[in-house]
Structure formats: structure tokens, C-alpha cells
Copies of this chain bind each other. A is one copy, B any other.
Amino acid sequence: MKGTLYLIPSPLGENDLAEVLPDAVLERARSIGTFVVEEVRTARRYLSKAGLRGHIDELRFFTLNEHTPPGEVEELLGLFDEGDVGLISEAGLPAVADPGAQLVALCHSRDIRVVPLVGPSSLMLALMASGLNGQSFAFCGYLPAKPEERRKAIRAAEKRSAELSQTQIFIETPYRNDAFLKDLAEVCRPSTKITMAADITLPSETIATKTAAQWRKALPTVGKRPCVFLILA
């Protein structure tokens, strides 16, 4: 009998775990001894907060991040012969915008059970709170960093949004947040709706939806806070 892969979400920042994680998810995390994590330090801090303080030294951690060679991901499959494994990403849902999906894919190919657990998704929380179209949406991840290419990618996303009535969702490296919001407001048509959702689930949470024309008139400073951007043409 092989172990199960539990996908364990983590908080999006320094908040009380009871605000963003169901009791049963924390209980599940406490029942596991082997973890595959994006960064060991963050995962240890989270699990300690989740009630594993005192047992932290008995846990086994394996790293899976963008530097992990594919061969090493395959080796992780051996862990399931010994029992259940928990997958934890840097923040939020594992195996979405991180390399954990590679391990999930391998588990499917070996008939290892994969169980996703409930937790905070900055993308879905931003989408819910945006008021934009949730019946059709696309997550585009990061756009190119070079200004001219980025503006071109924004135009292409706005075109897809108009053609498919599809909300387009982006994230940006925090230090480029302000340049990105400025680009969105300047490149998009005046009537296109733009949402910025910063510090989701934290006390400093700010979520606003305005048209490009309205944003242009009064562009706020987002700063280096984690932020999700959405547009609907």
C-alpha cells in the first residue's frame, strides 16, 4: 500500500492560521512526517505555527523548487513506499504557480493518490472580490519584464479578454507592481476594467476595481506588497 500525496496550502502572509486554513487541514499536516517543500525554512515556520512545534526535528524535509533537476523529482517517488507525503509551497496553494505540479504529475502516472486540501488562493480571492467575469477567466502568470514586450503582452491579453469575454489575471514581481499598474492603465482601452488586489487576507488588504480611464486620473502606490491584477475588456 503506497502513501498518499496531500497538497497542503499555507498562509499568504503573517496571519492567524485559523483565518485561512480549515482545522482539518492543520490536523492533516500534523499527522504527516515527510514533506516536499519549496523552501525548508518557510515550511518549518508554518508547521511550527500549525502545532508541530517540538516535533519539527523529527520531520523529514525534501526541497522541490525551480532549481531541482527532473531526475531528483523522480527520486522523491520512493518516499511513498514509506507512507504519506505533504507538499507545501512558499505561499498559498501548492502545485499551482510552483514546480510542485511535476511531483503531482508523476504521482498520477504511478497511481499514487493525490488529495488537494482547502486553503487560500490569492488568484481566486482576487477574482471573487473583483466583480469581473468569473464564468470565464484565464491566469497568465508573469508577463515579460521588458517594458515594450510587456505592453505588447498586455495588448494581446486585452484582445483575448474582449474576444472571449474572459477576465485576464496576472501577477508581478513586487518591485514592479507600480510600473505594471501604470502600464495596464495606459495601455488598456479607457473602458476596460482593471482590478488591483494587494495583501489579500492580511489586515492591510486593498482591493479596488475601476476603469482604465479612472485609474489614469488617480494612480495609487501599490508598493512592494504581494498583488494580483485583473482586467476585463
Report the interface size for chain A: residues with CB under 8 A from the other chain: 58
CB contact between A120 and one of B23, B94, B118, B209 (< 8 Å): that residue: B118
CB distance from A169 to the nearest CB of B (A): 10
| Residue A219, interface by CB 8 Å | no
User: A135: nearest residue on chain B (CB-CB)?
Assistant: B141
Chain A, residues 84-127, CB within 8 Å of chain B (1/0): the string is 00000000011111100111111110000011101111011111
| Residue A7, interface by CB 8 Å | yes
Q: Find out whether the CB atom of A124 lies under 8 angstroms from the CB atom of B121.
A: yes
Q: Within the assembled complex, what's the spacing in Å between the Cα atoms of A125 and B92?
A: 12
| Residue A130, interface by CB 8 Å | yes
Measured between beta carbons, the chain B residues less than 8 angstroms from A128 are 7, 93-96, 104, 116
User: A127: nearest residue on chain B (CB-CB)?
Assistant: B96
| Residue A137, interface by CB 8 Å | yes
Q: Residues of A at under 8 Å CB distance from B? A: 7, 16, 18-25, 93-98, 101-108, 114-116, 118-121, 123-141, 166, 200-201, 205, 207-210
